[in-house]
Amino acid sequence: MKKYLLLITLLTCVCATAQLTNEDFEGFNTGSFDGQFDPNQWDGWWGTNSLTEISSEYANSGNNSLNLSTAGGGAADIVGLFGTISEGKWELKFMQYLPTNAFDGSNAGAYYNLQHNYVSNGDGTGSGVWACGIYMPPDADGPTYIAQDGKQSNFQPIRDQWVEHKFIIDIDNNLAEFFYNDVKITDWPWNTEENGGGDNPNLNGLNLFAYCGGDFPGCSPDAYYDDIALTELESVPPLTEFSLLAPEDGASVDVNSTMPESVNISWGESISAFGNDVTYSWKLYSESGSPLLSLSSNNAGLDTELSLSNSIINNLLDNFGVEVGGNVTLTWNVEASSDDIVLESTETFSVTFNKIEDETEPVSLEEIAKEITVYPNPANNQVTIEGEVEGVNIYGITGQLFISTTDKKIDLSNLADGVYLVELQTAEGVITEKLRVLK
For 272-325, the pLDDT digits (tens) are 987 889 999 999 999 888 899 999 999 999 999 999 988 889 888 999 999 999
The span from the CA of 169 to the CA of 203, in Å, is: 9
Looking at the DSSP bridge assignments, the partners of residue 379 are: 437
Whether the predicted pLDDT of 343 surpasses 90: yes
Written in H, E and C, the secondary structure of the chain is CCCCCCCCCCCCCCCCCCCCCEECCCCCCCEECCCCCCCCCEEEHHHCCCCCEEECCCCCCCCCEEEEECCCCCCCEEEEEEEEECCCEEEEEEEEECCCECCCCCEEEEEEEEECCCEECCCCCEECCEEEEEEECCHHHCCEEEEECCEEEEECCCCCCEEEEEEEEECCCCEEEEEECCEEEEEECCCCCCCCCCCCCCEEEEEEECCCCCCCCCEEEEEEEEEEEEEEECCCCCECCCCEEECCCCEEEEECCCCCCEEEEEECCCCECCCCCCEEEEEEECCCCCEEEEEECCCCCCCCEEEEEHHHHHHHHHHCCCCCCCEEEEEEEEEEEECCEEEECCCCEEEEEEECCCCCCHHHHHHHHHCCEEECCCECCEEEEECCCCEEEEEECCCCEEEEECCCEEECCCCCCEEEEEEEEECCEEEEEEEEECC
> Do 244-355 and 22-233 fall under one CATH topology?
no
Residue 423 has pLDDT above 90, yes or no: yes
What CATH class does 22-233 carry? mainly beta
Please give the pLDDT value at position 213.
Answer: 86
Q: What is the pLDDT of residue 3?
A: 36
In degrees, rounded to 5, the angle at the alpha carbon of residue 292 between the alpha carbons of residues 289 and 298 is 120
pLDDT in tens, 389-398: 999 999 998 8
Structural domain spans, the chain: 22-233, 244-355, 362-437
Residue 375's alpha-carbon distances to 120, 334, 384, 388, 426, in angstroms, are 77, 37, 5, 15, 18
pLDDT at 363 over 80: no
> What pLDDT score does 379 carry?
92
Q: What's residue 256's pLDDT? A: 85
What whole-number percentage of the chain has pLDDT above 90?
79
Rounded to an integer, the average pLDDT of 164-180 is 95
Q: What is the pLDDT of residue 17?
A: 42
Q: What percent of the chain has pLDDT over 70?
A: 95
pLDDT for the residue numbered 401: 94
Among 91, 142, 81, CA closest to 117: 81
pLDDT digits (tens, 9 = 90+) for 270-287: 999 878 899 999 999 998
Residue 9 has pLDDT above 70, yes or no: no
pLDDT value at residue 368:
84
Mean pLDDT of the chain: 91
Amino acid at 175: L
Write out pLDDT tens, residues 226-266.
999 999 998 778 899 999 999 999 999 998 877 767 899 99
> Domain 244-355 is in which class?
mainly beta
Q: What is the pLDDT of residue 11?
A: 30
Burial class (CB in 10 A: 0-12, 13-18, 19+), 237: middle
- The pLDDT, as a whole number, for residue 364 is 72
Q: What confidence score (pLDDT) does residue 334 get?
A: 98
Instruction: Tell me what pLDDT residue 361 has.
Output: 55
| Spatial CB neighbours of 86, under 8 Å, sequence gap ≥ 6 | 171, 201, 202
What does the pLDDT read at residue 14?
Answer: 35
User: Which pLDDT does position 13 carry in this prediction?
Assistant: 35
pLDDT single digits (tens) 47-73: 999 999 999 999 999 999 999 999 999
Contacts of 4 (CB under 8 A, 6+ apart): none
Instruction: Give pLDDT, residue 281.
Output: 97
**CATH class belonging to 362-437:** mainly beta
Average pLDDT of 153-164? Answer: 97
